[in-house]
Structure 1
Amino acid sequence: MKVLVVGGGGREHALVWKIAQSPKVDKIYCAPGNAGIAQLAACVDIKAGDVDALLKFAVKENIHLTVVGPEAPLIEGIVDKFNRAGLRIFGPGRDAAQLEGSKALAKHFMAEYGIPTARYAAFHDAKEAMDHVREKNCPLVVKASGLAAGKGVIVCEYVADALDAVRRVMVDKEFGAAGTQVVIEERLEGEEVSVLAFTDGKTIVPMVPSQDHKRVFDNDRGPNTGGMGAYAPAPLYTPELHQRVVKEILEPTIKGMAEQGWSYKGVIYAGLMVTKDGPKVLEYNVRFGDPETQPVLSLLDTDLVEIMEAVIDERLDQIEVKWKKGASVCVVMSAPGYPGSYPKGDVITGLDKVPREVVVFHAGTAVKEGEIVTSGGRVLGVTAVGSDISDAVEKAYHGVEQINFNGAHYRKDIGAKAIKS
C-alpha cells in the first residue's frame, strides 16, 4: 500500500519511521518532509496547509492511507475533503479539530460536559480582559485562543504580568490572528503529563503516558516553546491516576464529541495538570504531540498502520495494542535564539557518529549543496530507548554529544523529574 504523511517536522519523521516498519507498506510519501524523512520516504514539494494540492496528489498517486501530522490542515478540514473524495485518512473532522483550533471553544466544551479544567473566562475585547485580570488579582494564565505553535500561553505570577500578557496577545498581536480572542484562567499547581490515545469515536486506547518540557531552559525557565524534549512513560502517571483520567476526562470527551455529531478517528491528546484535587485538562490537541510522539512511538510494539486502519474502520476494539518494556527519551536540539528569531542554513555535523541504537529524528533540516543544514527552530530530536529512564537519558545525551551545528542549544535536564520520582 501507498501512504502519504502530511507535515515536515520531528513528529512526522517519527511517524514515517514507524510506518516504514509495517510489512503492509510499499511506498511512503511525505509532504513536504525534511532531510531526515527523505532517507525513508519520497518528499513531495507541497506545503502541509495546501489541502487542495494534497488531495489532488493523493488522488493522482492512488494513496491508500493519509496520515496528518500537524494541526492546521485538520482544523482547515482536510479529513472532510479526503472523505468526500473517497480517500482513507487518519484524523478528526473539521468540527472536532476546533478543540485545538479554539481554546475558548475547548473550555466551553469542557464546561458543558463536566470535564475537570481550570476556571476561566474568554474575551474578544482587550479592556474587558484587563478589567477581569484586575478583578481576579491572583496568578493567572493568559492564552491566545487560536493556533500559536505552542507559544501563545503566558504564565503570569503578578497582575502586571497578566496585563502585559493581554496587551501582547490582543493589542500588539504578538501571536497574530490567534490573539483575536483570549482565554484567562486560574493558574493550576502541580506537575504536567501528556496522555495521547487512539480513538475511532467509540473505543479509546490510551498510549504510554509522557511528559513534555515546554520551557526553553533547564529547570523550566524561560519562554514556552513547541517542546524541548519528552520522555515516556511518566512515573507520575500511576494506575490509579490512569483510571481517573479515563473515567473523568477521556470517556466524557469522546462521548461529548459524539453527542455534538463530530467525527473523530485519530489521536486525541489531553495535556493534563495533576493537582492535589486530581487531573485537570490544560489543553486538547487533536493529533500526535511533538515531541511526545518520538518517545511514545519508540515504545509501540504493534504495527501502527494496523492501528490506523482499525481506527478508520471503527474496529479499534478488535485489535490489541502492545507496548515495549523500558523507557524512551527524546532530547530536542534547537537553533540559537529559538523560540524567538533564529538563523537557518548552518551545517550539521556528527550525525554519522551517533550510535545506531539512538534514532535522530529531523525536525527542522534541509539539504543544501549535498550537506544537511538547519532550517527551523527545533532542529533535531535525539531519541533513545533504555531499560529505564536513566538508561534512556544516558543513551540520548551520548547521541546529542556527537552532533554539532552553530549555536546548538538543548536542555540538559530532560527526564530528570522522572529519575527523581
Structure 2
Amino acid sequence: MNILVLGSGGREHALAWAIAKSPLTDTLFVAPGNGGTAQIAKNVSNLNAESGEEVLAFARENDVELVVIGPEAPLVAGVADAVRAGGIAVFGPDAQGAQLEGSKTFSKEFMVRNGIPTAGYGSFDNAPDALAYARELGAPLVVKADGLAAGKGVIVADSLDAAEEAIRDCFTGAFGAAGSRVVVEECLTGPECSLLAFVSAGEALCMSTAQDHKRAFDGDEGPNTGGMGCYSPVPIVDPDELAEMQRIMQQAAEATAREFACDYRGVLYGGFMLTPEGPKVLEFNARFGDPETQVVLPRLESDLVEVMLAVAEGCPGDIGLSWSDRWACGVVLASSGYPGSYEKGKAVSGIEAAEALDGVTVFHAGTAERPDSGLVTSGGRVLCVTALGDTFESARAQAYKACGLIDFEGKQLRTDIGYRASIGRSAWGN
C-alpha cells in the first residue's frame, strides 16, 4: 500500500525507516520530510501538514491507504478527523484526543477525573492569580504553558523568584498563544521515565520504557530542549514500577474510550516521575516522542505497518508486539547555540562511516539535501545517532563511537547520555 507520514524531524525519519522495512509498504511519502527521509521515501515539501483538507486531497490523488501523523500540531489541528472522515485509515487521535497534549489543563482535569496519579496543580488565565498560587505552594515548583510550545514550555523553578519570572514570561508572550493560560504544579522528585502505548478501542499495548535527557548540557544543566538523547529500556525501573505504569496506561486508555466522542487511535505517551510514593504522570502526549522513537522502534521486531493498521482500524486484538533483548542508546548531535539561535547550512559528513558500525542507525532531524553542497544542517537538533548493543554499556559506547565519526561545524552534544542510569537508582537519590 501507499503510506503518507506527516512531519520533518528525527521521529518521522525513524517512523519512515521502520515503515519502509515492511513488505506491506509500496510507495512511502513523507511531508515535508528531511535529508534522511529523502533517501528512503518521496519527500513532499509543498503539502501543508496541518491542513486536513490538503492532506486528504493528496492522499486521494496518490492512492494513499494509511496516513501516519508524527507531530502534535496536525493532531491538535484536527487533521486526523478530516482524513478519517474521508474514508482513509489514520494512525493518530482526533482533535479531542489530541487535547491530552494540546492543553495541560485539559490533561490534568482528565487525570484527576479518572484517578490517575499526578502532581497537585492550579490552572490560571491571569498572572496575579498564578503568582498568588505559586507563593502559596512555595518552591520548588513547575510552571507550564498550557498549550503547545514545541517541548520548551515547561520550567522547573528551584526558587520562587524563578517561578515568578516564568509565570510573567508566559503571560507576556514568551511562548506565544501557548502561554495565555498557565499551569502551576507541585514539583515531584525522582527519575523521569517514558512509557508509550499503542491505544485503540480502549486498550493500551505498551511499548518498551525509555528515558530522555531534556537539559542542553552535561549534568542536566542548562535550558530545556526537545531532547538531547535517550535510551531503552530503562534499567532503573523495577518490575513493580513497570507493572504500575502499565496499569496506569491501561486506565487512561479505558478513560479515552469512555469519555471521548471518537475512539482514540494512535500513540498515548505517558511521561512518568518515579516518586517515592510510586509512579505519577507528569504529562500525556498524543504521539510518539522525540527522541524516544529513535531508540524504541529499533528494538521493535513486529511489523510496524501491521500494528498501525490494527490501531487505525480499531482492532487491538490483532496486535502482537515483539521486542529485541538488545539495548538502544541514542545521542543527539545539535547545532551550536541550540536551543537558542543557531546557524544553518553547515556541511554534514561521516554518516556513512558511522552507520558502517555494528548496530548503528543515524536518524536525521534538522538536515536538508542541497543540489550544490549535499547534506547540510537545517535545524537545531541535527541528527540522533542510535546504537544497539547486547549490554547497556556497549550500546552507549557504540553510540558515542559513531558520534565521533560524524562532523559538521559547531557540532554540539551531551557526553553523559545514560551515565546516571549506568550508576543505578542511587544517582537520583532514591
TM-score bin (small chain): over 0.9
Distance 2:254 2:72 in 1: 22
1:331 aligns with 2:331: yes
1:267 aligns with 2:270: no
What is the correspondence of 1:157-168 to structure 2 with a 5 Å cutoff? 157-168=158-169
Q: C-alpha distance in 1, partners of 2:242/2:399?
A: 27
For 1:416, the aligned partner's letter is Y
Letter paired with 2:411: A
Match of 2:139, SS state, is: coil
8 Å contact 1:230–1:295 — kept in the other structure? yes
Q: Which residue of 1 aligns with 2:252?
A: 253
Q: 1:390 aligns with which of 383, 390, 393?
A: 393
Mark the CA change 1:136 to 1:202 in structure 2 (over 3 Å): closer, same or farther: closer
The code of the aligned residue for 1:334 comes to A
Q: What are the residue-to-residue correspondences of 1:88-127 with 2, within 5 Å?
A: 88-127=89-128
Give the drift of 1:213: 0.4
Q: For 1:156-176, what per-residue CA distance to the aligned partner results, in whole angstroms no more than 9, with x for missing partners? A: 1111111001011112x1111
Over the aligned positions, Cα root-mean-square deviation in angstroms equals: 1.1
Report the Cα distance in structure 2 between the residues aligned to 1:105 and 1:335, rounded to whole angstroms. Answer: 34
Q: Aligned partners of 1:158, 1:370: CA distance in 2, in Å?
A: 48
> What's the secondary structure of 1:268's corresponding residue?
strand
* Shift in Å, 1:204: 1.4
Shift of 1:322: 0.3
**Could you tell me whether the CA contact under 8 Å between 2:75 and 2:93 is conserved in 1?**
yes
Which one is further off, 136-145 or 147-156?
A: 136-145
- 1 CA distance for matches of 2:207 and 2:88? 26
Q: What's 2:181 paired with?
A: 181
Structure 1 CA distance for aligned equivalents of residues 195 and 246 of structure 2 = 10
1:48 maps to: 49
| 1:412 aligns to 2:415 (yes or no) | yes
- Which of 374, 378, 387 is 1:375 aligned to? 378
| Corresponding letter in the other structure for 2:128 | K
Query: Aligned partners of 1:417, 1:185: CA distance in 2, in Å?
Result: 26
Partner-residue secondary structure (3-state), 1:80? helix
Give unpaired runs (5+ residues) of structure 2.
425-430
TM-score, normalising length: structure 1: 0.98
Q: Distance in 2 between matches of 1:75 and 1:244?
A: 29
Deviation, 1:412, is 0.5
Q: How many residues are aligned here?
A: 419
Single out whichever of 363-372 and 1-10 deviates more from structure 2. 363-372
Determine if the alignment matches structure 1 residue 29 to structure 2 residue 29.
yes
* Contact 2:202/2:256 (<8 A) preserved: no
Superposed structure 1 runs of 4+ greater than 3 Å apart: none
CA apart distance, 1:390: 0.6
Give CA-to-partner distance per residue, 1:344-383, whole Å, 9 cap, x none: 1111122222142311100000122141111111000001
SS in 2 for 1:196: strand
Residue equivalent to 1:195: 195
Write the letter of the residue equivalent to 2:267. Answer: V
- Alpha-carbon distance in structure 2 between the residues aligned to 1:180 and 1:319: 40
* 1:361 aligned to which of 360, 363, 368: 363
3-state SS, counterpart of residue 4 of structure 1 = strand
- Counterpart mapping for 1:309-320 below 5 A: 309-320=309-320
C-alpha deviation, 1:241, in angstroms: 1.1
Contact 2:267 2:287 in 1 (8 A): yes
**Retained in 2: the 8 A contact 1:202–1:314?**
no
Equivalent-residue separation in structure 1 for 2:233 and 2:161 (angstroms): 38
Q: Secondary structure at the match of 2:294?
A: helix
Q: CA deviation at 1:110?
A: 0.7
- What is the aligned partner in structure 2 of residue 78 from structure 1? 79
TM-superposition CA deviations, 1:286-316 (whole Å, max 9, x none): 1100000011000000000011111122222
Q: Indicate conservation of the 8 Å contact 2:52/2:83, yes or no.
A: no
CA distance in 2: counterparts of 1:320 and 1:271, whole angstroms: 23
- Report the counterpart of residue 239 of structure 2 in structure 1: 239
Letter aligned with residue 402 of structure 1:
L
* Separation in 1, partners of 2:302, 2:137: 49
The Cα of 1:318 is off from its aligned counterpart by: 2.9
Amino acid at match of 1:116: P
Q: State the AA in 2 paired with 1:363.
A: A
CA contact (8 A) 2:121 2:184 kept: yes
Q: Distance in 1 between matches of 2:423 and 2:48?
A: 42
Amino acid at match of 2:28: I
TM-score (norm 2): 0.96
CA deviations on 1:14-71 (whole Å, 9 max, x unpaired) are 0000001101111100000011110000000124323322221111101011111000
**Residue type of the partner of 2:34?**
N
Please state how far the C-alpha of 1:237 moved relative to its aligned partner: 2.2
Whether the aligned pair in 2 keeps the contact of 1:389 and 1:418 (CA below 8 Å) is no
Which amino acid in the other structure matches residue 365 of structure 1? T
Q: Distance in 2 between matches of 1:352 and 1:114?
A: 49
What code does the residue aligned with 1:17 have? W
